Structure 1
């Protein structure tokens, strides 16, 4: 950003102006009267001065003081340069704890956050994407992995059942095992492989039929109806139901505390993202698009987009006025004012005017 002349300012330091000898008695008397007057006048008019300063600021073009490079460096050299501090991590835990376990959740249904119109719109949007729905059904039902998994599961179940049954059948079971062995030697085929192949062919055919039936049954209207029906079942559920899936154990064992887990995942995700070239590329592109879109805007136009209007400025000025008054009344301000006036009265031209009077 543009250089800040006060970037090295220290409250307990004097201005870096050349040190001169003390002003004469006349100048000293003037300074002694002027400093408290300045403090009184500025304190009395603090709110008005703040409003005037903001009004002036609103008229200034954003690009005069903030460049695209400034914004991008702010993100890369500050926002993304550091991991979350322990203080910030602790604050995140406090906020999560306050939100998730707030008593108001007990009497607040899910429909308070999401209304029926939003769900209707979402259901209609999802139901229209029949190609994506068909791909999802195929991934869940019609793919070979699903058929193979089901085949192996049934094959193992049948084998376990047969082995257990034959072992309990005594002599008959031994005779059946001998028959199985004779069949495999005569046909040079493994009965297990034959059974598995049979199951796979039939299950694959069944999965394809199931996929076709699902696509035929899940029409656009049916998908929308199912989504709305599901919403109607859960919309009156209180938000506190989420607590049933969390553990609020506050013992020393953090492994059992869900808030600790959530915060830890937030921290890990932020650390991973802030170091990724992917996020840096996206932020660089997004900031460039935003900056060039608003390059001709004034600071006031940007503020208006955030609803910072005249009423908000009045409120802000009144809130900042006490802080400004305290700063003006501080010894730091008095010392700097005294030094500024001393330097002023030490100028040769001013000395001449004082000597004439």
Structure 2
């Protein structure tokens, strides 16, 4: 394409004008504010459909696996937080309000119905019954074999063993088996007793005071105590295991349907809301957008100008415009 002097001069003049205009931070801020004034008045349904939002989330979050680098960075950030030097001098009560702890304690203590149902489910579980049976058996056997009285009083140990032997001969059964059968026969009654005892020990008032006492024991501990319960050196492995769980569930039809329906419900509720309202729901107000974000964007635009990126992209389209057939006719250039 033959370069024409007049058109080249017009293009250069316009590019100089754009450079001069956008090198002024006030102009950049004014343009951004004008754009935001327009954007904040648009409703969600004016710009994006439900299908567009859903497909974006499904593709970028559910269909896209996390990279090995991302997993590594998550583990590294957790490790950094756990080993940070300030953890040694920062107490638990410095970062958690006692009022919050008290509210949690009151809330948990007040859920007596939930707590009683949980206790009932636990004590009636076969695993709990088996544990109680074994515990009682071992306790009785331990008492017979290692009783303080049997050890300290001469002859008592032999008497207890003899009594056990006589009982086994009379009943024609092993004492351990007899105890086991008795416990199995009466396990329902034992479970009911366990449930009653647990409910007595975990009533609303006792549970509240238990939580309060626990808080007073731990509040002065440094945050570094967390390292006693989290193996820092195992973080790459534990974070990877957490990712394995997510990596499987993100591919299930269950989660895909949950996300689809959740996004749809949100979209229906908000489709007629303006972006100004949607941003306020996210605790982002107009001043943050108009001032803070524009200050962040201005250095980027200045870099675009100084590196001639903006000038190069603008020239591409100006050349297409000025050398188009219609523009040449307007300028009366053949």
Match of 2:256 in 1: 280
Which of 118, 123, 128 pairs up with 1:136? 118
Asked whether the 8 Å contact 1:68–1:291 carries over to 2, the reply is yes
1:22 corresponding residue in structure 2: 2
Name the structure 2 match of 1:342: 319
Q: Are 2:92 and 2:221, in contact at CA under 8 Å, matched by a contact in 1?
A: yes
Q: Give the 5 Å matches for 1:41-52.
A: 41-44=21-24, 45-52=27-34
Partners of 1:182 and 1:352 in 2: how far apart?
Answer: 122
**Match runs of 1:1-357 below 5 Å:** 21-44=1-24, 45-141=27-123, 145-155=127-137, 183=170, 192-200=176-184, 205=189, 207-248=191-232, 257-305=233-281, 306-347=283-324, 350-355=327-332
Given that 1:144 and 1:204 are in contact with CA atoms closer than 8 Å, whether structure 2 keeps it comes out as no
Per the normalisation by structure 2, the TM-score is 0.80
Structure 2 Cα separation of the partners of residues 120 and 333 of structure 1 = 57
Per-residue CA deviations over 1:191-246 (Å, capped at 9, x if unaligned) read 55434334555776455334324434543222222222222222222211011233
Which consecutive residues of structure 2, in runs of 5 or more, have no partner in the other structure?
Answer: 147-154
**Preserved contact between residue 110 and residue 236 of structure 1 (Cα < 8 Å):** yes
**Normalised by the size of structure 1, how large is the TM-score?**
0.75
CA distance in 1, matches of 2:134, 2:72: 49
What SS does structure 2 have at the residue aligned with 1:326? helix
Residues 134 and 215 of structure 1 are in contact (CA less than 8 Å); yes or no, is this contact kept in structure 2?
yes
Q: Displacement, 1:280?
A: 1.8
Provide the residue aligned with 1:251 in structure 2: none
Contact 1:23–1:345, Cα closer than 8 Å, also in 2 = no
In structure 2, relative to structure 1, the CA distance for the partners of 1:43 and 1:157 (3 Å cut) is: same
Alignment root-mean-square deviation, CA: 3.5
Contact kept, 8 Å, 1:31 with 1:341, in 2: the verdict is: yes
Match of 2:150 in 1: none
Number of residue pairs the alignment of both structures matches: 321
1:224-269 deviations in Å (ceiling 9; x for gaps) = 2222222222222221101123344xxxxxxxx2222332133212
User: Using the alignment, how far apart are the partners of 1:345 and 1:211 within structure 2?
Assistant: 87
Q: Counterparts of 1:134 and 1:246 in 2: how far apart (Å)?
A: 31
Distance 1:316 1:114 in 2: 31
Specify the SS of the correspondent of 1:297: coil
Alignment check: 8 A CA contact 2:276 2:286 kept? no
